Structure 1
Amino acid sequence: MLTESGTMQTPEKTAPLIPSRSAALTLKLLGRRHGKKLILTLLLVVAENVVYLLYPLLAGFAINAIIAGNALHAVFYAAMVFTMWALGAARRSVDTRTFARIYAELAVPVIVAQRLDKQSASTVAARVALSREFVDFFEKHLPVLITSLASISGAAIMLLVIELQTGLACLAILLFFACFLPGFTRKNEALYTRLNNRLEREVAFVSAAPSSSLTRHYRVLAGLRIRLSDREAIGYLSIGTVTALLFASTIFVMSARGGQEAGHIYSVMTYMWMFAMSLDDAPQLLEKYSQLKDIGKRVNTGLV
């Protein structure tokens, strides 16, 4: 609303958050209501990850079989590749049908619940849009989370088996980043709280505020998004630096040892890439977690 001086009051203040609600509770209620649909999609994700985890090991066997001239053993690798793509195609087909229907069922109780809480029309519209993040969690972020955890843990275990020193180094990297996790997450949550406060008031804000206030509003939004993006970029750079050291040390160790089979070298390098690429997902997943946690405090989905 406008102040007596004709300027728009800051939209940082918003309707009180709902302390009895949380992202975890909302996700639990959604999971309970749509359990069968979600189990089917998640089973496909798990099956896809099992095949993906076996890929470097089987590829190493295939390379050694090719070098030995055993084409029949090597061709099983092609069957594994087809299985991976078939599972991926099935998951993508099921995903759209499942999550489009879940969101369609979620939107109405969200609107009704916000009306009962006597929220303004702009807040209701913003929170309906924000509620989509709960469905996106199951559709996009949970599969990525499962894939990342499976790849990180699976790659580390496989490396412990086939290249012990590299596997131990992977565990040390995980412990190193775990030390910074709480502080990184808290800062993200604070930034998302400020960002979502402004987004909730945006409809009312743009309908009445003068151009100077609108300019300041969108500059603040841009600044918050840039700060979040910068934090994600710092996370990527940190992971990239540590990963480069992991590759360098492993290459030196294997070179000094000598006499390595081509398939073994390929498997080790591929599992390291799997570990590194899964760690790369961590900054974005942490950002989504912070966003979802704030949304869970403010959006009453009306689920019981």
Structure 2
Amino acid sequence: MRVRIDLAYVLKRFAGRIAVTWAIVLMENGLLALVPLSVGMTIDGLLAGRVQELGWLVAILITLGCVAVGRRFYDTRVYGTIRLRLGSELQRRNSALNVSKHSVRIDMSRELVDFLEIQVPELMTAVVQIGFSLVVLTWFDVRLGLSCALVVTGMLLVYACFHRTFYRFNGLLNDQKERQIDVLAAGGRRGVFRHLRTLRRHEVTISDTEAVLYGGIFLLQIAFVAFNLLQGSRIDGVSAGQFFSIATYSWDYVEAALLLPIALQSWSRLSEICHRLNGPEDCAPAPASQLPSQP
């Protein structure tokens, strides 16, 4: 029985290494989420003649820098090994395909790993920032927390209207990419031009759809920030440092929330890619061994 290649497959084969990278990502984002609150406390402390809060802020920033640098050294090696092993597996599995499709599908398989290396940490950043911002803003005022919940709900509803559209447009783009080597091998200038023009048309269509989606979402975020600033200024006894924290966490919330549709859009594209990698047309015999988990 042929093993299906998808994100779950890669996660299972490299569970230990990926778990380490994600644990470091969570540590990095936990420290990052503390920065605006620490800055606000430092402002109030310095205005009151204290430097203790400044010392804590410096310690957090130094630790954050060390964790971030270390994670990037480790990530590069782990995900490079995964790309190597996954590409080798597809080479064995897709040997019956023509060269054009074979080449493009190896490139597509790398997008699975790119998602784990880039989009998943960004999504984790978004979740940590959203969760931490929600807690802090609710602590300042319940109405600030309620506005957070409403804007994320509205944003996800907007994206839900675009999921099938992104899936279909990415399918058309991938269909055209799979013809590229055959078109180049044919050698006709007109054929190459038509191929590149078709690629451009699909890419423009996807980009235009993204622009409409993000434009709608950004309007929600503008209303959210304006409401939080107005409401924060009306809190009784709010200090300069507390108002700074409210403003900063509100903007951090916006930036984090905007990462969610980006990750969801990547998921739409990967869904189409996984369907293509495991489609009936690539039915080479099942490999004798599964993807190895050791380099």
Alignment TM-score, normalising by the size of structure 2: 0.89
Conservation of the 8 A alpha-carbon contact between 2:104 and 2:178: yes
User: 1:236-251 alignment to 2 at 5 Å?
Assistant: 236-251=214-229
Aligned to 2:180: 202
Q: 2:164 aligns with which of 179, 186, 210?
A: 186
Conservation of the 8 A alpha-carbon contact between 1:232 and 1:283: no
Conservation of the 8 A alpha-carbon contact between 1:51 and 1:84: yes
SS of 1:75's equivalent in the other structure is helix
User: 1:261-280 alignment to 2 at 5 Å?
Assistant: 261-280=239-258
Deviation at 1:240, TM superposition (A): 2.3
Deviation at 1:257, TM superposition (A): 4.4
Deviations 1:179-229 (A, max 9, x none): 223221110000000000111111002221643333222222111111211
Deviation at 1:149, TM superposition (A): 1.6
Q: 2:111 aligns with which of 115, 133, 147?
A: 133
Deviations 1:119-140 (A, max 9, x none): 1121111111111011111111
Deviation at 1:35, TM superposition (A): 1.4
Aligned to 1:68: 48
Deviation at 1:258, TM superposition (A): 5.7
Deviations 1:81-103 (A, max 9, x none): 11111110111010111111111
Q: Which structure would you say has the larger RCO, counting Cα contacts within 8 Å and 6 or more residues apart?
A: 1
User: 1:226-241 alignment to 2 at 5 Å?
Assistant: 226-241=204-219
User: 1:97-176 alignment to 2 at 5 Å?
Assistant: 97-115=77-95, 118-176=96-154
Conservation of the 8 A alpha-carbon contact between 2:184 and 2:192: yes
SS of 1:251's equivalent in the other structure is helix
Aligned to 1:79: 59
Deviation at 1:20, TM superposition (A): 8.6
User: 1:254-293 alignment to 2 at 5 Å?
Assistant: 254-257=232-235, 259-293=237-271
C-alpha distance in 1 between matches for 2:152 and 2:230: 22
Deviations 1:62-118 (A, max 9, x none): 111111111123221110111111110111010111111111111111111011xx2
Alignment TM-score, normalising by the size of structure 1: 0.86
SS of 1:62's equivalent in the other structure is helix
Number of paired residues?
281
% identical equivalent positions: 26
**Would you say 1:298 and 2:291 are equivalent positions?**
no
Deviation at 1:292, TM superposition (A): 0.9
Q: Which letter maps to 1:81?
A: L
After superposition, the Cα gap between the structure-2 partners of 1:27 and 1:43, relative to the gap in structure 1 and judged at 3 Å, is same
C-alpha distance in 1 between matches for 2:57 and 2:66: 14
Aligned to 1:221: 199
Q: 1:91 aligns with which of 68, 71, 78?
A: 71
Conservation of the 8 A alpha-carbon contact between 2:120 and 2:263: no
C-alpha distance in 1 between matches for 2:216 and 2:158: 11
SS of 2:6's equivalent in the other structure is helix
SS of 2:162's equivalent in the other structure is helix
Conservation of the 8 A alpha-carbon contact between 1:163 and 1:268: no
In angstroms, what is the RMSD of aligned CA positions? 2.0
Q: Which letter maps to 2:38?
A: L
After superposition, the Cα gap between the structure-2 partners of 1:249 and 1:182, relative to the gap in structure 1 and judged at 3 Å, is closer
SS of 2:161's equivalent in the other structure is helix
C-alpha distance in 2 between matches for 1:20 and 1:107: 15
C-alpha distance in 1 between matches for 2:107 and 2:231: 52
Deviations 1:113-171 (A, max 9, x none): 011xx211211111111110111111111111111122122212221122321211111
SS of 2:97's equivalent in the other structure is coil
Conservation of the 8 A alpha-carbon contact between 2:156 and 2:261: no
C-alpha distance in 2 between matches for 1:241 and 1:108: 45
Q: Which letter maps to 2:159?
A: L
Aligned to 2:22: 42
